[in-house]
Amino acid sequence: RDFDAAIKRINSYENEKNILIKKENLFQEMFISKNFLFLTIRQNRRSFSKENKLQVEKIFSKFNDDDISKTQSFRIQSLYNTIKALYFNLLKDKVKVEEFRSNIVTLYNDFSHFLDVSNSRYIISYFNYVSAVFQLEDFKKVENLLNNIENFKLNNQNEKGEFFQNFALYKILLFLN
């Protein structure tokens, strides 16, 4: 009996290990894809050729929406939404960019323990979302988003600087619009 129980535990650990390895491999592949996409954006900001579009679409063919959501992994889902936002930014689809930037902020709310680890990334993600909403010229929503984050707890000078720079920028832009 003890031997059977030990075998079951070993098999269970082996299954968990395989799942974690698959998640890590997926994350690494997505991370590389995100960097490629980011560089593609930087290099082709003005003109996005059909060849570039095909390269980027090839990236997306590797990833399945359902598989990504099934991972229940903050890192993978966040990275996936970042990739999608970058992609739709290239295509100049502002509505889709806002959707995927919003998804990232929602993920932080769903996995709030990540805020304890890094407020800096949340602040950057939040203001990327504000930027996407601003691009849609939904100034009332931008104002609400700024009001919602105005008293956000900042832990260090880096976070304070990042926050102030973005918060002040969007307050000024709202004033000008």
Summarize pLDDT for 42-96 with one digit per residue, the tens: 776 666 677 777 777 777 777 777 777 777 778 888 888 988 898 888 888 999 9
- Other CB atoms within a 10 A radius of the CB of residue 161 amount to 13
Give the residue among 141, 113, 112, 124 at the shortest CA–CA distance from 85: 124
- Other CB atoms within a 10 A radius of the CB of residue 111 amount to 16
Rg, Å, the chain Cα set: 20
Does this model's pTM top 0.75? My answer is: yes
How far apart are the C-alpha atoms of 109 and 106, rounded to whole Å?
A: 5
Summarize pLDDT for 97-142 with one digit per residue, the tens: 999 999 999 999 888 887 777 788 889 999 999 999 999 999 999 9
